[in-house]
Structure 1
Amino acid sequence: MGRKLLGALGPLLVVAAGWLGVFAVPGFRPAEAVVGAVFPPVGAFLLGRRPGLLTARLLLAVGLVSAVYTFAHGPHAWSPQVGLLLLGPLAVTFPDGKPPSRPWGPLPAVMVVGPLALAAVAMTDPGAAAALPTVVGVVPFLGVGALVHRYRRGDADTRRQVAWFGYPLVIVASCAFFDDAPLATAVQSAAIAAMPVAVAVAVLRHRLHDIDLIVNRTLVYTVLTAVIGAVYFGITAVAAGLGSWSGLVAALAAGALFHPVRQRLQEAADRLFKVERDPYRVAHRLNQSIQQASGPIEALESAATAIRQALQADGVAVEVLLSQGTVRRVCDGEPGERATPLIWHGRPVGRLLLKGDPPDPGLLDMLVRHLAEVAHAVRLTADLQRSRERILATREEERRRLRRDLHDGLGPTLASLAMTVDEARLRLTRDPAAVDPLLHRVRSQMTEAIGDVRDLVYGLRPPALEELGLEGALRSLADGPGPRVDVVVAGAVNGLPSATSVAAYRIAQEAVTNVRRHAHATTALIRLERQEELWLTVSDDGIGLPEQRRSGVGLASMRERAAEVGGDCAVTGRPGGGTEVVARLPLKAEEGAE
């Protein structure tokens, strides 16, 4: 209740001063009345939201001192703008209630005690009052200096808060140069009235409003007004001899210069604030940063930095969804929770996390499309690296298998065969009758060796491909037990690269095996279509994929077979039930070379 009474006291005193005719007293300035009317209620409101906040208390104190001064203004009152002296300590301690660094520590006390002591002397010694306006004029500049120091040392949030308070404070300080100009007085009063509102926004809602845009536009149109005004009055003065035509010439010249000058000033202000508003230039810079990167991961990091700068965000994070279920995360700054999905050809490949004010939706959409390409490249790189690792592991495992089969299977068989031949050769002269059983044993061991060699060869390449070709091998595969499997071939599939034929057959073999073991299907279809690439589709009318599924060895094997030849393989559910395996296998330039 006391806070609300203090907040209402300032406006009541200002209204009472106006009723008593204080505003008509010679030498009275409206700035004090504006401070007394606006600062107390805003300070009380802010103090209710943030109890104990020094900034809110200073706002309340500045307003009440100014209100009391306004009400008591007279021939023996304090010098003008005494309440504005407290804006200095407010600026130095904003927004956390502490000076920006140790050297600034004693300044708030000096900025309060010194001018107030001089004001007290001025009440009894009119001669000393002449020095007080100079002190009052210096105080805002000291506050601006403290804000600049804090802005340069602070993080993104602190900078945004300082910008909200510093914007009207700079206007107030600038108007001090035009002390007696009516327009400067009006602008200063408006800036003072906006100051407590800016402080409240900086403390409570600084993330929801773009102060950089406000400062940018103010700078552009202030300079633009000065330039156009100088052109207009300059031409008017030079062309005074034209009489009534001078105003028309000046107006036409000012109108002709307005757009190009505004455009140049806007570009200069954007460079000053490191803002790029042309989406095509933003896209060009983003592409340049991506192309200069040494790899997809580095390109993703460069893209995150470029996007943060383009959107003026406090932080950016890019999360890429890798095929094995893990997430690759790249950050620039401290990211937030505002997520935008990254979609590549209808498939989610990750998301963009932003911290800061909501950006321009059109610019964000354009940047997200470019970023999705980079995220997809990162995903492909991770898949390729994982595929290479598995291919190497598979190759080494195949080599170990061949070594084991040769060492433990074919090797002992050939050694035993050699020993039997030696034994038969020795008995040939001494006991010819015993040689025949030994030769039968040799024949049996040779048959085993031939079988071992055949097994090794069949393990390297399916014999059905050699004997029947890819189409015949698929039809032979479809003739097995289980549900009916139809085979449809579109286009000529002869003369395919050996690796592509083996990959297509192995993927179809694994898919048909899954249909027969797990799908509970009645029919299935193998479709092989040759276009610019080889497309293999195996579909069934079974129970489909479970909701909670894990990629087993078979599914991983199909994807790896496709990746080995530069393609890809996807396993999805069919509308209406069933499963569909779709493999895309590129056809290389050396087609026909078997």
Structure 2
Amino acid sequence: MSGSTPARVGPWSAAAATIALSLAAAWVAGTGPGGAAGLDGVGLKLLVMPLLWAIPGALIAAVGPRLLGWSMIAVAALFALSALAGASLHAGVTSGAPWWIWYADRASALIVPLTLVVLLLVPDGRLPSRRWRPWATAAVGLQVLAVAAWASLQGPAAASDSSLPAWTGELANPVGLLPGGWGEPLQSWAEVAIQVPFLLVPVAVYGKLRGAHGDTRRRVVSVLLAVVTFTLLIVVGRWLWPAGGDLLDIVAGGLLALTVTASVLRFRLGWVDRVVGRLTVFLVLATVLALGYALVVSLASTAGSQLSPVAVGLIAAAVTLALAPARARLQDAVDWALYGDSRESARVRRLTEELASSRHQLVTAREEERVLLRRQLHDGLGPTLAGVAMQLRDLDQIVQEDPDLARSRLDRLAQATHQALDEVRQMSRQLRPPALDELGLVGALEEVAESLGLDCVVVSENLGALPPGPEAAAYRIGREALTNVARHSGCTSAQLTIARHRDGVQLEVRDHGAGRSGPTGVGTLSMRERAHELGGSLSIEDTDGGGTTVRAWLPLPAQGGIR
């Protein structure tokens, strides 16, 4: 139909297609002539890595930052396509074989610059500053250029160290544009061009760390440690254990994907920080130990002496003992980066949890007192004043002297009494919105949206009964966010989602209006204060496709005190 807009491929569809490619590669390799040998030829890494990166990439792309999520999906897709190419060749597929070989052994190296993009964008999907754009562009461009040159060499389509079947070495590169004699010098240059740009990654993450505080700092540090661990496993791990290269790649890629996902989506996976921290310390010490051992053995070899097994064991033991104090210091440094002063980290964390629990109890007690006071005002004082008004109104029937004056005074008394009654009702509304008790949180927010003239879709997930404090805060934040949509967005529709998790409630109000403009208003400050009052957080971000998304996290009090 003319004028129709082409359908956009969503991140989950792309991830599903990528996983389907990986499963297809496993099926082709397993059912081919080689059977299990075909699976071994393709390699476990190429079959597993798409799963490790596609699903986290879809999660991140769905909620933002989109570029980071789609980059992870692209890495997974290149792995899956490489697995399918290898599986087809091991199965003896000859149709289009030169192109399959060319991609599997040469063009699939585009995974490297895409991985660099991911590492530069974690955890917020942005570079540290605009000044980083030319550096990042140059680094990624250099890697792409190296891959393009390597993929364009004349000669065999397969690489010299290819794991593909032997017959593939007889087929020529279908994209042979550069002279084959450039192969040896180009390979040395390409290795440098591929590896050196990764030195920018720790610098970029450190640049983000300098301006981070609180939970944001912990998330950035966690990603930084994961990047260091990823690099050590890929580079040093392969050096120490060449036979386990694929397994190390899987562990490194999986740990990095998990850490990045937890950081971006603000999952509270404390065990991830502990695992990454301990693994970083272990790998750094193992690297130093290996270098120290290699240095001693090299010096002994240079001197012309042959070390006995006992001497090798003594050298290893001596280097290990020398590194024992360094392990404690290195672990302290990692703990300090994540939590602050490592010597006080446990006590600070305990006190922080106690403070958060006390704050929850205080806010909850205050809200419960407000509920009680509201009932007293509404059910006690309110009917009393209404009765007085009725009695005063009836007194004019028994007043015999100066009836006109009596009626005038009685009218004023009745008016004053009704005014007091209205004030009592207003106080009741200020203490706690009556709609929460009458309609519940979802119904109360739906009523707010309707009163503002908004076409609002309200979605609740596992909400149940909430404590008074978080419930009142969620209502007031949601009401203010919907009010801002009606007043400032220029659109008449919104989506409000309230999801209850194990340790908190997440509220999100999304519109597709004009977006943010102007300075922060009183309403925004009020929403932030209500979230921070419970130890939560509030963020206001641009919605994909235009508009604004208000997202609040409100922790729930732990049952029985400290969590």
TM-score bucket (shorter structure): 0.3 to 0.5
- Which protein has greater RCO, CA pairs closer than 8 Å, 6+ apart? 2
TM-score, structure 1 normalization? 0.40
**Structure ranking higher in strand proportion:** 1
TM-score, structure 2 normalization? 0.41
